[in-house]
Amino acid sequence: MIKDSQQSDRFLISIKIMTTTNTEYKYVDLDEKNVPIITGSTMKVVELITSVKAYGWKPEELHENYPHLSMSQIHSALAYYWDNQAEIDADMEKRYQYAEKLRQEAGESPLVKRLRVRVIENQVEQLSLRR
């Protein structure tokens, strides 16, 4: 039989409590790193805006794709973005540059290398069939 303390240790769950600061926007808070977060979720405003920029989604489409967010949360996040556009755009650029750096450091994947070889082989084969 497992002792009570051993049993409770096995089921111990680590919970991170996020400290946030309110903003003038009803559904946008700042996390401990001053990153704007949509209140009641773990989604960053920049993540929502990335979907707007990548896919051209309107608020209704954002809601269809992120049903855990209310229309009020979405509109509040969009308003926050428009009032802080330069800062959030700079953050998106920084994130892009970081991802690009990691991609370059990782180099070409083995799959891409194999596909590149196949494309070249197919081109050579096509050229030889023409002769």
pLDDT above 90 (res 51): yes
> Per the domain annotation, does 7 fall within a domain?
no
> Per the domain annotation, does 73 fall within a domain?
yes
Q: Which residue has the higher pLDDT, 117 or 22?
A: 117
If we measure between CA atoms, which residue out of 27, 47, 130 comes closest to residue 88? Answer: 47
> Per the domain annotation, does 101 fall within a domain?
yes
**What is the span of the domain harbouring residue 48?**
23-120
Predicted local distance difference test score (pLDDT) of residue 14 = 52
In the structure encoding, which two tokens stand for residue 41, read together? 């979720």
pLDDT above 80 (res 3): no
Question: Number of structural domains, the chain?
Answer: 1
> Per the domain annotation, does 126 fall within a domain?
no
> Per the domain annotation, does 28 fall within a domain?
yes
> Per the domain annotation, does 62 fall within a domain?
yes
In the structure encoding, which two tokens stand for residue 7, read together? 């049993």
Phi, psi of 98 (to 5 degrees): -65, -45
Predicted local distance difference test score (pLDDT) of residue 94 = 92
Minimum mean pLDDT range among 43-47, 84-88, 122-126: 122-126
> Per the domain annotation, does 17 fall within a domain?
no
Predicted local distance difference test score (pLDDT) of residue 99 = 94
Helices (H), the chain: 4-10, 45-55, 59-65, 71-83, 85-106, 110-130
In what side-by-side order are the strands of the sheet with 21-22? 21-22, 28-30, 36-38
Mean pLDDT for the chain overall: 87
Q: Which residue has the higher pLDDT, 56 or 22?
A: 56
> Per the domain annotation, does 9 fall within a domain?
no
pTM (2 decimals)?
A: 0.67
